[in-house]
Amino acid sequence: MTSRLWLSLCLVLTLVLGASATALAAGKTFKLAWGTDPEALDPHCQLSGPMLQYCHLVFDPLIRWKKDNTFEGRLAEKWERIDPLTVRFHLRKGVKFHSGNPFTAKDVVWTVERAKTSPDFKALFEVFETPVALDDYTVDLKTSKPYPLLENMATYIFPMDSKFYTGTDEAGQPKDAVVKTGSSFANEHESGTGEFMVASRESGVKWVMKRFADYWEKPGKGNIEEILLTPIKENATRVAALLSGDVDFISPVPPQDYERIKGNKDLQLVTMASARIITFQMNQKKRPEFANLKVRQAIIAAVDNAGIAEKIMNKTTIPSNQNSPKGYAGYNASLTPRFNLEKAKQLMKEAGYEKGFSASMIAMNDRYTNDAKIAEAVVGMLAKIGIKVDLKTMPKSQYWDLFDAEAADLQMIGWHPDTDDSGNYGEFLLMCFDKDKGFGQYNRANYCNPKLDELSIAAQSETDPAKRSKMLQEVEKIAYDDAAFIPLHYEPLSWASKKGMNTADVVNIQDFPYFGDLEIK
């Protein structure tokens, strides 16, 4: 009796193990772990980092960024400016969607129109008129005013399969509806032109993406057959998963583990500073002392941002004196570092605050790399010039409401321009707050300089790159001279993987790894 039970147990076990062994044998699987997974399958559901990373796998943009800050065509083969308001895109022929439908200019028109109705993309696409399809493979993107950033924006156009998304689903809901908080056809189904198709997805747990057999780029640069994406939220767990070989590729990597990964002969690490500037805003209305230019200068002079970049960020980033990183149109090389503790003390004395004063500060503890530690370090630095800072750190879910309400005198904010352009920093962080026009939406310092506003607005429709660059550099200079904010550094980006992959070639400053190009040896 018992022996028979054992026998059947063994049999079951063998069967199960056998089945799992065959499952493993098929295809080259790439195991990928991100901090968070994309919110849904609908590219227009939410404008977020993971979502765009997903779009670059499953959809294709018209054009995409290259490492040297220029563009390369994807679904567009070439493009040319026809007049100040129009750019003509010549589309790739013979491209198929995952559903099998052919890709044409109609899909581009449809996608742009849809983006204009999505709450997240509405503002970015506001400047666009309805595109005009000249024939199946030529489309004109038109803007309502001369617009220098049209190419930047074209990287956000991931053509969707208009035929696939037309009609109504079983629930009677239109298939093209953009639904942010519930189920919808587009949130659960995809048909893009990308190299990978979503085979199965369990939100927050596991995504399986398989190579799309009819992909247009043949032969592709990469050789991944299947992507297994797992979000791993906890930093230490993510690193452990890579160290133990459970996954092949992780991002982001916490700075304290860089050495450990570099020291491992089977692993490689790629890092770069992004364009996301980390800053503190000094509220000039809430804290009267901050209205004094000398005080603001003293604070900036007291903050050793190079020290933070070296010690807290573990040399993974570069300290900054302005918003724009090198390579951006607005980057102003003449702006020099201002850290000088003696001068800071001197300035405090001149301002009449030799004895110092108290101020409050809020920062997040789960958003940027080492955010809470950075805030703590700044508190320590300000203590040296007599400013006693009460710091409260909190998760991002509670942060932004307080930020908007100007809950503290010093508030942390990191900013990455969606347009990957200098003008965006000024529009959101520095221009005088104007609720109706939407300017200065995140300027909670109550900083306001009409000259800066004027230049920022002018730059929005200046199509001559040289002139525009000059304007934006002037904007940086004004903010620098006004000591408008405390610049710290750029949020570091990091990717770690097993050796034998061309990791460094597929990652970029936008943090959109092009896994379609990843080659595993």
Partner 1 sequence: MFAFIVRRILQAVVVMAVISCIGFAIKHSFGDPVRELSGMTVSAQERERLREELGLNDPFLVQWGRFLKGAVHGDLGMSYLYKKPAMEIILGKAPATMELVIAASVIILILSVPIGIYAAVRPRSWLSRFFMGVSVIGVSIPVFLTAILLISIFSVQLGWLPSFGRGNELTPLFGGAWMSGFFTWDGITHLVLPALSLSSIMLPLFIRLIRAEMKETLEAEYVKFARAKGLKPWRVLVVHAFKNTLLPVITVGGVQLGIMIAYTVLTETVFQWQGMGFMFLEALQRSDVSLMSAYLVFVGFVFVVVNTVVDIVYGLVNPMVRIAGRK
Partner 2 sequence: MNALKRFKDCYFLYSFLRDPLAVGSLAVLVVLTVAAFAAPLIAPHNPYDPATIDIFDASTPPAWTPEGSEKFLLGTDAQGRDILSTMLYGMRVSLIIGFGATILQAFIGIIVGLSAGYFGRRLDALLMRLADVQLSFSTYMVAIFLGAVFQTAFGMANYETFAVPFLILVLGLAEWPQFARTVRASVMAEKKKEYVEAARVIGLGSRRIMWRHILPNTLTPVMVISTVQVANCIMGEAALSFIGLGMPITRPSLGSLIKAGFEFFLSGQWWITFFPGALLVLLIVAINLFGDWLRDFLNPKLYKG
Return the percent helix, strand and coil in the chain, to nearest 5: 35, 25, 45
The two beta strands, 357-364 and 387-394, are parallel
Query: Which of partner 2, partner 1, none does residue 241 bind (CB under 5 to 8 Å by kind)?
Result: partner 1
CB of 494 to partner 2, least distance (A): 13
User: Taking a C-beta distance cutoff of 8 angstroms, is the pair 121, 242 a contact?
Assistant: no
| Residue whose token pair is 């770690």 | 496
User: Taking a C-beta distance cutoff of 8 angstroms, is the pair 41, 31 a contact?
Assistant: no
CB of 378 to partner 2, least distance (A): 9
Question: Residues 258 to 317: which contact partner 2 by CB under 8 A?
Answer: 259-260, 304, 307-308, 311-312
Q: How many residues does the structure list for the chain?
A: 521
User: Taking a C-beta distance cutoff of 8 angstroms, is the pair 186, 176 a contact?
Assistant: yes
Q: How far is CA 82 from the centre of its chain?
A: 31
Question: Residues 396 to 415: which contact partner 2 by CB under 8 A?
Answer: 402, 407-408
Cα–Cα distance measured from residue 159 to residue 139, given in angstroms and rounded to the nearest whole number: 12
Write out the two tokens for 165: 């998304």
Of 79, 85, 48, residue with least CA distance to 62: 79
Query: Which of partner 1, partner 2, none does residue 373 bind (CB under 5 to 8 Å by kind)?
Result: partner 2
Cβ closer to partner 2: 209 or 308? Answer: 308
Is residue 373 involved in binding partner 2 (CB under 8 A)? yes
Torsions phi, psi for 490 (to 5 deg): -100, 140
The two beta strands, 71-73 and 63-65, are antiparallel
CB of 132 to partner 1, least distance (A): 27
Torsions phi, psi for 329 (to 5 deg): -60, -35
Which one of 207-215, 256-264, 424-432, 434-442 is the stretch in contact with partner 2 (CB under 8 A)?
256-264
CB of 17 to partner 1, least distance (A): 6
Is residue 112 involved in binding partner 2 (CB under 8 A)? no
Q: Which residues in this chain contact partner 1 in the complex, by CB under 8 A?
A: 13, 16-17, 20, 23, 39-40, 46-48, 119-120, 122-124, 179-184, 187, 203-206, 228, 230-234, 236-237, 240-241, 243-246, 366, 395, 397-398, 400-401, 404, 415, 418, 428, 435, 438, 441-442
Residues near partner 2 (CB under 8 A), total = 40
Is residue 379 involved in binding partner 2 (CB under 8 A)? yes
Query: Which of partner 2, partner 1, none does residue 175 bind (CB under 5 to 8 Å by kind)?
Result: none
CB of 444 to partner 1, least distance (A): 12
SS3 label, residue 422: coil
CB of 282 to partner 1, least distance (A): 21
CB of 117 to partner 2, least distance (A): 35
Of 328, 496, 347, 504, residue with least CA distance to 424: 328
Cβ closer to partner 2: 199 or 236? Answer: 236
Cα–Cα distance measured from residue 165 to residue 173, given in angstroms and rounded to the nearest whole number: 11
CB of 20 to partner 2, least distance (A): 29
Write out the two tokens for 234: 């906890």
Of 491, 488, 472, residue with least CA distance to 430: 472
The residues that touch partner 2, with contacts defined as CB under 8 A, are 235-236, 239-240, 243, 254, 256-257, 259-260, 304, 307-308, 311-312, 360-362, 365-366, 370, 372-373, 376-377, 379-384, 389-393, 395, 402, 407-408
